[in-house]
Amino acid sequence: MSGALAAKAKITTEVTATADNKKTTNSNDALLKADDWQRGDIQLRCTEKWHETHDVISFRFQGLSPVKFTYKPGQFITFKLEINGEMVYRSYTMSSSPSRPYSIVVTVKRIPGGQVSNFLADSVNEGDVITLMGPDGAFNLVDIAAEKYLFLSAGSGITPMYSMSRWLLDTKVGSDIAFVHSARGNDDIIFADSLAAMAHRSAQFQLSYMLESADDLSAGINHTANDSRMVGRIDVEKLTALVPDFMSRTIFVCGPEPYMVAVKSLIESSTFDMSRFHQESFTGAAKTSDSSTDSASTAAKFMLSIDKKDISLSTEQTLLDGIESEGLPIIAACRSGVCGACKCQVTSGTTESSSTMTLTAEEIAAGYVLACSTKITSDVTLKM
């Protein structure tokens, strides 16, 4: 090649590279100038979907144009979905960390018969656009201050703890975190590789697992020197062995209801200062595709009156069951007494509530209840 041709070829290459760089620079520039999203309804595109375990799937969502998401580690977001012609609202904790603000990740475990979890797993794919609203939730590391953390989780209750841990490791390097997660077996540990990497990276991140059977202790495909494992259900002795200084930590708990009850009672029995104990569960009355009023046919029944409609409701069913059985409009995002979306007012009659978490003392005095967490104990009139 002559010197002139060589020079020309070189110049052509440089021009091409400059054009590519400019394009990349422009799209990166757009990211830096991304709109800030802090609250409200937003349409997002699913940009990634992957399996965490055999029955747990993560979805990454990003703005239709670049968006920076602001939320508190541990908070949840609510999906607005149309399933078989019906609007359905369901909340999931974000497993992503707000320290990585250009996308959010939601991690969903399939529930047998679960209307929303199975819809998401089967029907939402990369490229699909979904409407979400939020964020919400007081179970987060901004509203709850702590010096030393103990995260206790079971099953998919790991998602807020994972978000919190990643946020702490990104933003407050050296945070003192003890993380004890309970899972059926090695194959059911969600985020196993990522948690192992975090434990490898930080000596202050103590990772432990409670597994259900002894086989799992030796056959761990994800087992690394970075975690401790024990067999059986968590109790004070095992917790003390795994986290000897647990009494001096602030405790965050999330998991299925029986796990939450067991953990709360074991912590209470240890004379722990319960002002440093915080919990959240999203595993309450999940609506299934065949949700109906048949399930409690043997329980006592009363009449629920709403807007001139009379609905026969058993003492085993929630007000939400009755409202939905008549197809009346109500937003029930978490179905666990956490989000406050299903608030309504009892104007006559008596009820029993398992959660009033989002209600003020004035609202409770005025008869407001959370329909998802309230059962009827007499004939009741409800205002929605």
Q: Which residues form the interface with ligand FES (CB under 6 A)?
A: 332-335, 337-342, 370, 372
Q: How far is the CB of 345 from ligand FES (least distance, A)?
A: 14
Q: How far is the CB of 167 from ligand FES (least distance, A)?
A: 24
Q: How far is the CB of 215 from ligand FES (least distance, A)?
A: 38
Q: How far is the CB of 338 from ligand FES (least distance, A)?
A: 6
Task: List C-alpha distances in Å: 312 to 141, 293, 315, 326.
Answer: 43, 9, 10, 11
Do residues 98 and 273 touch, judged by C-beta distance below 8 A?
no
Q: Identify the H or E element spanning 381.
A: strand 380-383
Do residues 87 and 80 touch, judged by C-beta distance below 8 A?
yes
Q: Judged by CB, which is closer to ligand FES: 257, or 273?
A: 257
- Which of 347, 342, 353, 350 minimizes the C-alpha distance to 367? 347
Read off φ and ψ for residue 121, nearest 5 degrees: -65, -40
Q: Judged by CB, which is closer to ligand FES: 198, or 334?
A: 334
Question: For tokens 């434990």, what's the residue?
Answer: 199
Q: What's the rounded Cα separation, in Å, for the pair 126 and 303? A: 46
Q: Judged by CB, which is closer to ligand FES: 46, or 334?
A: 334
Q: Judged by CB, which is closer to ligand FES: 276, or 343?
A: 343
Strand 343-348 and strand 380-383: the pairing is antiparallel
Q: How far is the CB of 371 from ligand FES (least distance, A)?
A: 6
Q: What's the rounded Cα separation, in Å, for the pair 282 and 91? A: 8
Q: Judged by CB, which is closer to ligand FES: 63, or 134?
A: 134
Q: How far is the CB of 153 from ligand FES (least distance, A)?
A: 20
DSSP secondary structure string for all residues of 190-211 = TTHHHHHHHHHH-TTEEEEEEE
Q: Judged by CB, which is closer to ligand FES: 134, or 155?
A: 134
Structure tokens at 206: 């103590």
Q: Judged by CB, which is closer to ligand FES: 189, or 332?
A: 332
Question: For tokens 């609510």, what's the residue?
Answer: 78
Q: How far is the CB of 79 from ligand FES (least distance, A)?
A: 13
- Which of 337, 287, 310 minimizes the C-alpha distance to 86? 287
